[in-house]
Amino acid sequence: MHSIRPVIAGNGLAILLTIVFLLPTTAVFAFVASAPIDDLFAEIGVWFHQNYQWKLDEFDTIERFTKIGFALRAIIISVGISFLYFWISNWLNHGLARIRSKGSIGKQSLVIESIQPWIFVGPALTLLILFLLIPAFATLSLSFQEADGTPTVRNYAFLWDPSALGYVQFRLAMRNSLMWLILVPTCCITLGLLIAVLADSVRWGIIAKTIIFVPLAISFVGAAIIWRNIFAGGGIEAQQTINGLTPSYQIGLLKSILGHPPSYNEPLYNLKFWGNFFLMWILVWVQTGFAMVIFSAALRGVPQDTIEAATIDGASPYQMFFRIKLPQIYSTVVVVWTTLIVLVLKMFDIPYALSANDDDKLLLATMMENARNNWSIGGDNVDNLFASIAIMLMLTVIPNMAFNAWRIRREQKEIGH
């Protein structure tokens, strides 16, 4: 073993250097070499434009088809490069081992075997280190610096100094986060359990479940647009009614149900304080399907004999659920809860889409974005302020992270791998 260490190190380094040099060069070369494909697509576009009645003018057609050409070669090249990596490094590993440890087959395979795992986990670990670990620590150090690099705690002043930038916003963001944290997971889990139980007891349950499930496939911005039709206020024409003579209507269904006159066109999600609850509801609407599916599976996994025993003892449906089934899926509830908590803490899209700059609706993630755009008062310090809020966001997630790591570790031990 001792004598082959230098061989392993040498081969590893050779593979690493080849890959680091070869892959980016190949990628750039492939992009440059395949550029004529864009022109080819542009010509196809022009041909279509001339032979069919396009609504697009010729310039836009060329632009569109060039973009499609670019899309195709970008997809093929990027995917190809990632396959190429594994193929080349595997080939190099075998080839180098054969060259450098001639004769001894056992030595050869030992060299190959010690390098191969790192070829396989290498890209994943590199990406994680470069794009998660190092940036996380860089953000931490950035948050304790002025823009010019001198150490400071000024970026955290919003924690204690009422005159600091972001003092008010941070408090509002924390208040809102707390409300979101309590309400959204609670609602999702309650509704999810309710639907899981109800759907399993009626014949059309599968249809109901599919419908509840679909919002999971939709982007949060899409969900915001969907619910805008319900929460937003009166339309343009409705406001311009002539002397009250003409009929006018609300645009938002819920506002109409609440009896708001069309002239009152403040969207419900813009209401001071109460608007938060409408934003939360959108997330509940999206995520209930997730809770439902998992609870539905967990409930089906409850051992049949416990249910039969309870039936023989004459348990009512309520007792059956709260005394027999719920305790047995308790760990699943906890898992769903932690998943939803992380989701809520990182929530950005919904408040950003519907009430981007409203302090009253801030969450930590939207506060970060606002710090970047709106509070450029401290000179070039915005990035550092951004970093310090990111750290606050991280701190709120840490208890969850610790819990998750503990859970996974315990599971690994239970399975015995």
User: What is the smallest separation between the CB atom of 159 and another protein, expressed in angstroms?
Assistant: 18
Question: Mapping DSSP to helix (H, G, I), strand (E, B) and coil, where does residue 145 land?
Answer: strand
Is the four-CA dihedral 369, 373, 379, 383 of positive or negative sign?
positive
User: What is the smallest separation between the CB atom of 383 and another protein, expressed in angstroms?
Assistant: 6
Query: Which residue, 148 or 414, has its beta carbon nearer to another protein?
Result: 414
Query: Which residue, 165 or 212, has its beta carbon nearer to another protein?
Result: 212
Instruction: Please tell me the distance from the alpha carbon of residue 121 to that of residue 115, in angstroms, as a whole number.
Output: 10
Query: Which residue, 160 or 318, has its beta carbon nearer to another protein?
Result: 318
Query: Which residue, 94 or 171, has its beta carbon nearer to another protein?
Result: 94
**What are the DSSP calls for 248-261, one per residue?**
---SSHHHHHTT--
By the 10 Å C-beta count (0-12 exposed, 13-18 middle, 19+ buried), 318 is classed as exposed
Measuring CA to CA, which residue among 211, 203, 183 is closest to residue 292?
A: 211
User: What is the smallest separation between the CB atom of 213 and another protein, expressed in angstroms?
Assistant: 7
User: What is the smallest separation between the CB atom of 123 and another protein, expressed in angstroms?
Assistant: 5
Query: Which residue, 348 or 375, has its beta carbon nearer to another protein?
Result: 348
CB distance 32 to 44 below 8 Å: no
User: What is the smallest separation between the CB atom of 163 and another protein, expressed in angstroms?
Assistant: 25
Query: Which residue, 21 or 86, has its beta carbon nearer to another protein?
Result: 86
Residues in the chain: 417
Residue type, 81: I
Structure tokens at 127: 């990406």
CB distance 213 to 292 below 8 Å: yes
What's the distance, Cα to Cα, between the start and end of the chain in Å? 26
CB distance 278 to 176 below 8 Å: no
By the 10 Å C-beta count (0-12 exposed, 13-18 middle, 19+ buried), 351 is classed as buried
User: What is the smallest separation between the CB atom of 336 and another protein, expressed in angstroms?
Assistant: 7
Instruction: Please tell me the distance from the alpha carbon of residue 241 to that of residue 262, in angstroms, as a whole number.
Output: 9
User: What is the smallest separation between the CB atom of 7 and another protein, expressed in angstroms?
Assistant: 17
Residue with token string 């899409």: 222
Distance, CA of 97 to chain centre: 42
Query: Which residue, 157 or 199, has its beta carbon nearer to another protein?
Result: 199
Measuring CA to CA, which residue among 302, 298, 278, 279 is closest to residue 290?
A: 298
User: What is the smallest separation between the CB atom of 17 and another protein, expressed in angstroms?
Assistant: 19
Helix extents (H) in 101-166: 105-128, 134-143
User: What is the smallest separation between the CB atom of 164 and another protein, expressed in angstroms?
Assistant: 20
User: What is the smallest separation between the CB atom of 308 and another protein, expressed in angstroms?
Assistant: 19
Q: Which residues fall within 8 angstroms of residue 153, CB to CB, at 6 or more apart? A: 144
Q: Which residues face 151 on adjacent strands?
A: 145
User: What is the smallest separation between the CB atom of 48 and another protein, expressed in angstroms?
Assistant: 13
CB distance 209 to 296 below 8 Å: yes
Cβ count within 10 A of residue 67:
15
Instruction: Please tell me the distance from the alpha carbon of residue 236 to that of residue 238, in angstroms, as a whole number.
Output: 5
Query: Which residue, 172 or 347, has its beta carbon nearer to another protein?
Result: 347
Question: Mapping DSSP to helix (H, G, I), strand (E, B) and coil, where does residue 314 land?
Answer: coil
Query: Which residue, 112 or 157, has its beta carbon nearer to another protein?
Result: 112
